Structure formats: structure tokens, C-alpha cells
């Protein structure tokens, strides 16, 4: 079993080194050697080392003997590198075996170095210091990359939201929180369907782009308040395919989901939708979820061509379309999610009420 550290550090944070060796004398010698600079943790064999690594705190570096009873050092190193929780910890083999083939084998397994016994204290300190410094720099770089990646992702989501709001303004609609509500509705429906949290997030983040194809619809059609004539409806019904074309074929999960929503959110479960008259499971699940969320938002918020209706009436209308316009499974999820969706509708209010004429470029009549 792993021994309790016997050289606790007095500094704020000293590196912790796990010493794994079946020789009592060797463990104590290395521990005494390292005591001025490092905290140590001891293990008598491979099994004890793996047990020690399962407990906090994890070491910053491992000094690992090769020849030990039970699992040898090579097997222990292989297990460490196969485990995501320990793969990042640098391993230095310490062994009396000095055949270059043994050293090469250890390095191929993922060790950062190989020191032969008997130990040279200056050499051991130099190797340990070097690899601790490299590991620290690697962690700092990884943290910086993660921070920058998160910032880029946050910026991308902000741009998506701003684009969605710009689309609403182009239509001449209200300055609303439709984007926020829609994302919440989609997430709640996905959660009620049992989707994994990361899937729910991607669906919510992609939802603001579902109407991006309206950029290709003529301005007078988008702003018209009277019922559309057949020619105008033809123009309007083109927007799903235009949206898919704008987004394009993407490997990025968020954009691929947005494309599926854009091209298929007007398809119907019974096959009577557009643009491709897809039916049932042929419609992407992202679009089936979006369709219910979009219908709920459209009915419960004031829009350019219609006034809002009560939530209860909207819910009855959606349930009535189960198996016709909407996927019955998604409608069942809608029933479960309705209390939370109602709360979102109640709390996420529009900033400005009513419909506004945003055509400020047009000269006064």
C-alpha cells in the first residue's frame, strides 16, 4: 500500500513526486535526496502506485522502478498512459537495467526519461527539474489554449445571436428576446427527450440560425403585413434551402446542427411540409425539436402578422398536431417541459412591446 508522505512541504506549493520502488533502501534514499526541494509520496510496487494515484493529490512527477514484483514498471507506465486521469503525469524510469533496448522500450511506452542506477544525485536533480519545468509549461500552454478557445466560442455564440436579432429587425419585427426564449425552449425540449447535456447545449446554440435563409427573401415580402399572395409565398418557402446554402456543409457540430434546423424546420411529420416533403424519422431530430419550439414561440409572442395567444391555447394547438405537423415523441416531451417553458415565457420578456417600423431608410410619404 502507498505510504503517507513523510516530507510535507513548508512552501505554498512544492512539487509532489511519487517514488515507486520495491526496495526500502532505495525509496528512503531517493526520498532523503529529494526532501530539500520536493514533497514525496512512496509506493512499494505497481499496485500500490496505481492506488496512490487514485487519491488526491496527484503527483507532479513519478519516479518508477522497472523490476518489481507483480506488475513491472513497464506495465504500470502503460496503464498510466492509458488512463486519461493520469496520462499527463510525467514518468521517469529509474532502473539498474541499462541496456539501450530497455531504455528505448520505456520511452516508447510514454516515459519522459530513463535514469540508470546507481543514481547520480546531480543528474537526477537536473532531469527531474527539467521535466517538472516542461510539464508546468505544457499545463500553462494548455490552459491558455483552453481559455482562448472558450473566448472564441463565446464570441461565436454572440455573433450568432446578433445575426438572429438582425434578421428580426430586417423583418420589421419587435426588438425582442425571441432568440433567448427559442434557445431555452429548444434546450428544455431536448432535456425532456433525454438528450445528453452537451447535445442540449449544441441544439440551443444552433437554434438562432434556423431562419438565416430569410436573408435571401425579398425585402417587401419580409415586411408585408397583409397575407402573402402565391408568388410571395413561393419566395418565402425558398428560405429553408437558402439557409442551408448559406451555412453550407460543415463538420463543426454546431454549424451542422444549424444547417439541419435551417433546411428542415418547416417539414411536417406527415410529409406535407416543405421544401422536400420529408416525413417521420427522415426529418432530422434537431429540426423536429426546433419546429415545436418555433411554433410555441410564434403563437405566444406578438409577431408582425399575428397577435400572441395564451400559453394554454398554444399548448392545445401543438398537442392537437401530434402525428400531423409534429413528431409525437417531441410533443410528449413538450408536455413534460411545458411548465418550465411557461416560466421562460413569463420571465424572458420582450424589451419593447409592439411592432415597430424599422424601415428608416425609406423617405417619409
59 and 203 together in one domain: no
Neighbours of 139 (CB within 10 A): 12
270 and 312 together in one domain: yes
Q: What is the CATH number of the domain that holds 64?
A: 3.40.50.2300
Q: How confident is the model at residue 297 (pLDDT cuts 50, 70, 90)?
A: very high
Cα 36 → chain centroid = 43
Neighbours of 86 (CB within 10 A): 18
Residue 20 lies in a domain: yes
Mean pLDDT of the chain: 85
Domain that holds residue 51: 16-142
Taking 90 as the threshold, does the pLDDT of residue 339 lie above it? Answer: yes
Report d(CA 262, CA 159) in Å as an integer.
Answer: 17
Report d(CA 83, CA 217) in Å as an integer.
Answer: 53
120 and 185 together in one domain: no
Residue 118 lies in a domain: yes
Judge if the upstream peptide bond of residue 91 is cis by omega within 30 degrees of 0: no
Interval 308-331 mean pLDDT: 96
pLDDT score recorded for residue 80:
92
Q: Which of 342, 348, 343, 321 is closest to 332 using CA atoms?
A: 321
Q: How confident is the model at residue 40 (pLDDT cuts 50, 70, 90)?
A: very high
Residue 7 lies in a domain: no
Residue finishing a domain among 94, 125, 142: 142
Query: pLDDT tens-digit profile of 258-278?
Result: 999 999 999 999 999 999 999
138 and 182 together in one domain: no
pLDDT score recorded for residue 65:
92
pLDDT score recorded for residue 362:
38
Report d(CA 350, CA 364) in Å as an integer.
Answer: 28
Contact 161, 211 (CB under 8 A): no
Taking 80 as the threshold, does the pLDDT of residue 158 lie above it? Answer: no
What is the pTM for the complete model shown?
Answer: 0.58
Taking 90 as the threshold, does the pLDDT of residue 192 lie above it? Answer: yes
At 104, is the secondary structure helix, strand, or coil?
helix
> Angle at Cα 36 formed by Cα 133 and Cα 86, nearest 5°?
45
Q: Among positive and negative, which fits the CA dihedral 124, 126, 129, 135?
A: negative
Contact 221, 232 (CB under 8 A): yes
203 and 332 together in one domain: yes
121 and 222 together in one domain: no
Burial tier of 91 (Cβ tally within 10 Å: 0-12, 13-18, 19+): buried
Interval 149-177 mean pLDDT: 66
Residue finishing a domain among 101, 119, 142: 142
Report d(CA 111, CA 360) in Å as an integer.
Answer: 67
110 and 181 together in one domain: no
Interval 295-311 mean pLDDT: 82
pLDDT score recorded for residue 303:
65
243 and 300 together in one domain: yes
274 and 209 together in one domain: yes
Residue finishing a domain among 142, 158, 184: 142
116 and 185 together in one domain: no
Residue 91 lies in a domain: yes
Report d(CA 246, CA 187) in Å as an integer.
Answer: 24
pLDDT score recorded for residue 108:
92
pLDDT score recorded for residue 64:
93
Judge if the upstream peptide bond of residue 275 is cis by omega within 30 degrees of 0: yes
Residue 36 lies in a domain: yes
Residue 38 lies in a domain: yes
108 and 218 together in one domain: no
Residue 39 lies in a domain: yes
Interval 179-184 mean pLDDT: 88
Residue 55 lies in a domain: yes
Q: What is the CATH number of the domain that holds 256?
A: 1.10.3210.10
Report d(CA 209, CA 162) in Å as an integer.
Answer: 10
pLDDT score recorded for residue 170:
61
Interval 19-41 mean pLDDT: 92
pLDDT score recorded for residue 10:
43
134 and 191 together in one domain: no
The CA-based diameter of the chain, rounded to the nearest angstrom, is 97
The H or E element spanning position 91 is strand 91-95
Whole-number percent of the chain with pLDDT over 70: 85
Residue 278 — φ and ψ, nearest 5°?
-70, 155
205-224 burial, b at 16+ Cβ within 10 Å, e below that, comes to bbbbbbbbbbeebeeebbbb
pLDDT score recorded for residue 59:
94
Q: How confident is the model at residue 166 (pLDDT cuts 50, 70, 90)?
A: low
Total domains, the chain: 2
Q: How confident is the model at residue 134 (pLDDT cuts 50, 70, 90)?
A: confident
313-347 burial, b at 16+ Cβ within 10 Å, e below that, comes to ebbeebeebbeebbbeebbebbeebbebbbebbee
Amino acid at each position: 500500500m502507498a505510504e503517507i508522505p513523510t516530507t510535507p512541504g513548508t512552501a505554498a506549493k512544492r512539487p509532489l513526486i511519487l517514488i515507486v520502488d520495491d526496495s526500502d533502501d532505495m525509496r528512503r534514499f531517493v526520498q532523503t535526496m529529494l526532501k530539500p526541494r520536493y514533497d514525496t509520496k512512496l509506493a512499494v510496487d505497481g499496485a500500490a502506485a496505481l492506488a496512490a494515484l487514485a487519491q488526491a493529490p496527484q503527483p507532479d512527477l513519478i519516479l518508477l522502478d522497472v523490476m518489481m514484483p507483480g506488475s513491472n514498471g513497464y506495465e504500470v507506465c502503460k496503464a498510466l498512459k492509458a488512463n486519461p486521469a493520469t496520462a499527463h503525469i510525467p514518468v521517469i524510469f529509474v532502473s539498474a537495467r541499462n541496456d539501450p533496448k530497455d531504455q528505448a522500450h520505456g520511452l516508447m511506452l510514454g516515459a519522459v526519461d530513463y535514469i540508470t542506477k546507481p543514481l547520480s544525485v546531480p543528474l537526477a536533480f537536473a532531469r527531474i527539474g527539467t521535466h517538472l519545468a516542461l510539464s508546468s509549461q505544457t499545463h500553462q500552454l494548455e490552459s491558455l489554449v483552453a481559455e482562448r478557445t472558450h473566448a472564441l466560442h463565446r464570441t461565436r455564440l454572440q455573433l450568432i445571436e446578433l445575426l438572429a436579432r438582425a434578421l428580426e429587425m430586417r423583418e420589421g419585427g419587435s426588438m425582442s428576446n425571441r432568440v433567448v426564449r427559442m434557445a431555452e425552449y429548444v434546450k428544455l425540449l431536448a432535456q425532456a427527450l433525454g438528450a445528453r447535456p452537451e447535445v442540449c447545449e449544441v441544439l440551443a446554440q444552433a437554434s438562432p440560425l434556423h431562419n438565416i435563409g430569410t436573408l435571401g427573401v425579398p425585402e417587401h415580402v419580409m415586411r408585408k403585413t397583409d397575407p402573402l399572395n402565391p408568388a410571395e409565398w413561393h419566395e418565402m418557402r425558398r428560405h429553408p434551402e437558402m439557409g442551408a446554402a448559406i451555412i453550407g456543409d460543415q463538420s463543426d457540430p454546431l454549424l451542422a446542427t444549424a444547417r439541419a434546423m435551417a433546411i428542415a424546420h418547416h417539414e411536417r411529420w406527415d410529409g406535407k411540409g416543405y421544401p422536400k416533403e420529408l416525413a417521420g424519422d427522415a426529418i432530422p431530430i434537431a429540426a423536429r425539436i426546433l419546429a415545436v419550439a418555433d411554433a410555441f414561440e410564434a403563437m405566444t409572442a406578438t409577431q408582425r402578422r399575428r397577435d400572441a395567444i395564451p400559453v394554454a391555447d398554444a399548448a392545445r394547438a401543438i398537442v392537437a398536431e401530434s402525428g400531423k405537423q409534429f413528431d409525437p415523441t417531441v410533443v410528449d416531451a413538450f408536455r413534460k417541459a411545458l411548465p418550465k417553458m411557461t416560466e421562460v415565457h413569463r420571465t424572458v420578456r420582450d424589451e419593447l412591446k409592439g411592432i415597430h417600423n424599422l424601415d428608416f431608410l425609406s423617405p417619409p410619404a
